[in-house]
């Protein structure tokens, strides 16, 4: 159930990279394609009263898969987003604890 929340990109840009991205992540993580959830989070960055461009920021919510897998996921996200025309990408991971995650009222 990896969930990717992406700020700083347009919906169409995320749609354009989503198939290749999920293909890569499916191979890296080893979970079925339907486990992946990609969300475009609409946001506006304001500095000193002006709206400014922001670099994409990706929040990954998932169960820990180890540093090696995490590094590969970060590399794949970075490469795909840079191919969409962005120079800078920020990614951070939030590790979910299985005993605190429920699906339909039950622990996984």
Please say if the pLDDT value at position 1 is more than 90. no
In the prediction, which pLDDT does 72 show?
A: 98
SS3 content of the chain, % helix, strand, coil (to 5): 40, 30, 30
In the prediction, which pLDDT does 53 show?
A: 85
What whole-number distance in Å separates Cα of residue 13 and Cα of residue 30? 25
Nearest residue to 3 via CA among 36, 31, 34, 43: 36
Please say if the pLDDT value at position 51 is more than 80. yes
Please say if the pLDDT value at position 56 is more than 80. yes
Please say if the pLDDT value at position 3 is more than 90. yes
- CATH for 16: 3.30.429.10
pLDDT band, very low/low/confident/very high, at 50 (cuts 50, 70, 90): very high
pLDDT band, very low/low/confident/very high, at 54 (cuts 50, 70, 90): confident
What whole-number distance in Å separates Cα of residue 14 and Cα of residue 51? 21
How many domains are there within the chain?
A: 1
Please give the residue range of the domain that contains residue 84. 2-107
In the prediction, which pLDDT does 2 show?
A: 94
This prediction has a pTM of: 0.91
Asked if residues 107 and 99 have their Cβ atoms less than 8 Å apart, the reply is yes
Please say if the pLDDT value at position 108 is more than 80. no
Burial 15-31 (b: 16+ CB within 10 A, else e): eebbeebbebbbebbee
Q: What angle do CA 15, 103, 37 make, to 5 degrees?
A: 10
């Amino acid at each position: 159930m990896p969930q990717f929340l992406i700020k700083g990109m347009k919906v169409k840009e995320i749609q354009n990279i989503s198939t290749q991205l999920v293909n890569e992540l499916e191979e890296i993580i080893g979970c079925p394609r339907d486990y992946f959830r990609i969300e475009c989070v609409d946001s506006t960055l304001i500095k000193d009263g002006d709206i400014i461009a922001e670099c994409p920021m990706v929040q990954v919510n998932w169960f820990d898969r180890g540093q090696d897998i995490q590094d590969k996921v970060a590399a794949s996200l970075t490469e795909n987003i840079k191919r969409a025309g962005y120079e800078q990408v920020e990614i951070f991971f939030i590790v979910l604890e299985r005993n605190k995650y429920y699906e339909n009222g039950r622990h996984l």
